């Protein structure tokens, strides 16, 4: 609804302040007597350090399904009508419904992907969470929650949380992460493995434009000074006609009584922002733009967790790519065939919960687990997510193997999988025997063994569920060829004029390695050749440091080492 200011200043201020706190449906059209544009203290500031951007190189901006996948009882609870479109996540929540941003299975499964055990939140770094959210609440000031878990799972003794006031319409929320000790036992301290957002204690439709878990010691606020006292707004474009209740890309900053107001750019995602003010005379023109400059987003492509040559390609001379049925042999409790370069199957009687595939090994050449330990498999599961033992449940995969020397069978712990395609990458030597194997199985670490049978079980559903396998690689570490290795990397927020420095390290912690190369950064994939003469012999981790033209620096380690 468009409202033209035509009353005294005090009445207008009350109306606009109410609009800021409610549905943000009010803006003033241009007026011949409107004030000139506000001035801004800076034309460019750096974005704050954000957890999802740093850990996943993928902000929680709902531009992809990986931000919050749409799996009920896995990524969201008590939510229906869930969808994602044009960078906005939507759902209808019951009272205390929640969205799970980070989770871990807390040593009851082998972690992979975005598991909180692999991507813990360091509370010494990240101290605030901000988000752009719309609700359909019919009353203001309803309680919402940000909840965390230091064990990752939904257990009361692991839970901490803080409250915020949830309002109708679109709002930017900026919440300090300080535990409400009267309600939750766990402080925002140490390392956190689980994080959830409860939009409201009442049922409501919810829309989310972005979420940032950020370091308030980084980034910079911007001072905005209107020409006259009035209400100041931010806008992602310079078109006031689209500033409606359905558009998340604009909102209030504060009311100025004659001086500057602060736009907390630390809480906002990178991009271009404009500002205008509204007073009794109408809406001002727009300020000059302010850029929240994206930090470099460094991805080391190679070396990586997937490693180098696989057992099937190097030893068997035929990769497990399922272009032919000879890539597998025995299929207990499963009916499997090859179609379209994939193994396609269902679980069958007599035991629906124990179906699997034995992959074909090279005759007389067992798998040396010291050499081949990097598992990558791309698998598909039909149906819905459920971990129960009932039909429609059993969404956990396993590995099983047979020792050539002792005749001992060993079975891995659960690998939790989701509906649709899963790209599972695990370094099996990262785990102790107790972490790797089923709780009741006695055994050995994945090292120093010779394996003459290797089996994958894709699920344990007591009902019939289809699965597909695109490929399986069991690989060794990346390694240098002729004493050289080509490092590959990219900057997903590339800016012309950025520079890179490439380091090697004896581990993947501390960023305290040896500089071995420097070069400009090009858009897309970059390469840098490193030499054993510079790196030394042995297993080395690579990290890349990129500096953008404004001097902002980001570093990231490779996800796997290279043997030089």
Please check whether residue 542 is in contact with residue 504, taking contact to mean a CB–CB distance below 8 angstroms.
Answer: yes
Candidates 3.90.1170.50, 1.10.3720.10, 2.40.160.20, 2.60.120.430; correct CATH number of 311-476?
A: 2.60.120.430
Considering only CA atoms, which of 415, 412, 416 is closest in space to residue 400?
A: 412
Residue with the two structure tokens 């449940």: 393
Considering only CA atoms, which of 555, 546, 557, 543 is closest in space to residue 495?
A: 546
The Cα–Cα gap between 214 and 128 comes to: 6
The per-residue pLDDT for 224 is 98
Q: Which residues contact 407 (CB under 8 A, 6 or more apart)?
A: none
The predicted model gives 531-555 an average pLDDT of 97
Tokens of 205: 């439709």
The per-residue pLDDT for 35 is 76
Tokens of 204: 């409501």
pLDDT at 423 over 90: yes
Is pLDDT larger for residue 15 or for residue 126?
A: 126
pLDDT bracket for residue 443 (50, 70, 90) = confident
**pLDDT (tens digit, 9 = 90+) per residue, 207-236?**
999 999 999 999 999 999 999 999 999 999
Domains 51-214 and 311-476 share a fold: yes
Domain coordinates in residue numbering, the chain: 9-46+219-293, 51-214, 311-476, 479-563
**DSSP 8-state class, residue 430:** G
The fraction of the chain above a pLDDT of 70, given in percent, is: 94
The per-residue pLDDT for 405 is 86
The predicted model gives 83-96 an average pLDDT of 96
The Cα–Cα gap between 89 and 269 comes to: 16
Please check whether residue 141 is in contact with residue 187, taking contact to mean a CB–CB distance below 8 angstroms.
Answer: no
Q: Where are the alpha helices (DSSP H) in 240-322?
A: 311-314
Q: What angle do CA 553, 555, 556 make, to 5 degrees?
A: 155
The Cα–Cα gap between 433 and 314 comes to: 27
The predicted model gives 263-291 an average pLDDT of 97
**pLDDT (tens digit, 9 = 90+) per residue, 147-199?**
999 987 788 899 999 999 999 999 999 999 999 999 999 999 999 999 999 99
The predicted model gives 427-446 an average pLDDT of 88
The predicted model gives 322-338 an average pLDDT of 97
pLDDT at 92 over 70: yes
The predicted model gives 42-52 an average pLDDT of 98
Instruction: Report the DSSP pairing between strands 44-46 and 290-293.
Output: parallel
The per-residue pLDDT for 3 is 32
The Cα–Cα gap between 196 and 116 comes to: 12
The per-residue pLDDT for 34 is 64
Please check whether residue 29 is in contact with residue 212, taking contact to mean a CB–CB distance below 8 angstroms.
Answer: no
Domain 479-563 homologous superfamily, CATH: Immunoglobulins (2.60.40.10)
Assigned CATH topology for domain 51-214:
Jelly Rolls (2.60.120)
Provide φ and ψ at 493, rounded to 5°. Answer: -120, 45
The predicted model gives 27-48 an average pLDDT of 77
Secondary structure (3-state) at 354? helix
The Cα–Cα gap between 478 and 539 comes to: 9
pLDDT at 2 over 50: no
The Cα–Cα gap between 385 and 416 comes to: 10
CA dihedral defined by 61, 64, 69, 70, rounded to 10 degrees? 100
pLDDT at 444 over 90: no
CATH 2.60.40 fits 9-46+219-293, yes or no: yes
Residue with the two structure tokens 């506000």: 38
């Amino acid at each position: 609804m468009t409202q033209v200011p035509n009353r005294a200043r005090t009445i207008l201020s009350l109306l606009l302040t109410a609009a800021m706190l409610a549905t943000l449906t009010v803006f003033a059209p241009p007026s011949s007597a409107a004030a000139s544009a506000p001035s801004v203290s800076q034309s460019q500031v750096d974005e704050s350090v954000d957890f999802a951007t740093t850990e996943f190189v993928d902000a929680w901006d709902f531009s992809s399904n990986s931000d919050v996948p749409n799996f009920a009882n896995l990524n969201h609870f008590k939510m229906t009508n869930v969808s994602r479109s044009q960078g906005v996540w939507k759902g209808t929540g019951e009272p205390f419904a929640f969205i799970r941003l980070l989770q871990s299975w807390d040593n009851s499964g082998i972690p992979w992907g975005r598991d909180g055990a692999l991507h813990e939140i360091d509370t010494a770094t990240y101290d605030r969470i901000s988000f752009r959210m719309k609700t359909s609440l019919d009353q203001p000031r309803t309680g919402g929650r940000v909840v965390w878990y230091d064990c990752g799972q939904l257990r009361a003794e692991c839970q901490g949380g803080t409250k915020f006031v949830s309002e109708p319409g679109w709002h930017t929320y900026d919440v300090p992460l300080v535990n409400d000790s009267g309600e939750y036992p766990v402080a925002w301290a140490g390392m956190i493995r689980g994080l959830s957002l409860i939009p409201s204690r009442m049922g409501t439709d919810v829309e989310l434009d972005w979420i940032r878990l950020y370091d308030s010691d980084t980034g910079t606020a911007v001072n905005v000074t209107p020409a006259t006292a009035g209400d100041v707004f931010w806008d992602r474009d310079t078109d006031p006609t689209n500033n409606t209740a359905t558009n998340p890309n604009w909102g209030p900053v504060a009311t100025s009584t004659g001086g500057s107001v602060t736009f907390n750019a630390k809480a906002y995602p990178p991009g271009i922002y404009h500002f205008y003010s509204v007073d009794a005379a109408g809406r001002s023109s727009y300020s000059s733009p302010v850029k929240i400059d994206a930090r470099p987003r460094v991805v080391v492509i190679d070396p990586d967790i997937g490693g180098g040559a696989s057992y099937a390609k190097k030893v068997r001379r035929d990769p497990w790519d399922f272009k032919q049925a000879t890539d597998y042999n025995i299929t207990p409790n499963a009916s499997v065939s090859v179609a379209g370069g994939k193994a396609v199957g269902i679980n069958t009687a007599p035991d629906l919960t124990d179906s699997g595939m034995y992959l074909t090994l090279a005759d007389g050449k067992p798998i040396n687990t010291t050499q081949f330990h990097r598992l990558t498999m791309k698998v598909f599961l039909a149906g819905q997510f459920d971990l129960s033992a009932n039909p429609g449940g059993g969404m956990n995969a396993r590995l099983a193997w047979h020792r050539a020397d002792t005749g001992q069978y060993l079975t891995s712990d659960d690998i939790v999988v989701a509906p649709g395609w899963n790209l599972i990458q695990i370094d099996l030597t990262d785990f102790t025997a107790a972490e790797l194997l089923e709780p009741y199985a006695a055994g050995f670490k994945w090292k120093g063994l010779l394996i003459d049978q290797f089996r994958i079980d894709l699920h344990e559903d007591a009902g019939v569920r289809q699965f597909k396998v695109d490929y399986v690689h069991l690989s060794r570490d990346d390694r240098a060829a002729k004493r050289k290795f080509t490092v590959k990397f990219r900057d997903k927020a590339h800016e012309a004029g950025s520079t890179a420095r490439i380091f090697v390290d004896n581990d993947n912690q501390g960023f305290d390695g040896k500089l071995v190369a420097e070069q400009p950064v090009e858009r897309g994939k970059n390469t840098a050749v490193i030499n054993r003469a510079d790196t030394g012999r042995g297993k080395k981790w690579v990290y890349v440091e990129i500096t953008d033209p404004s001097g902002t620096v980001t570093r990231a380690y490779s996800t796997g080492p290279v043997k030089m």
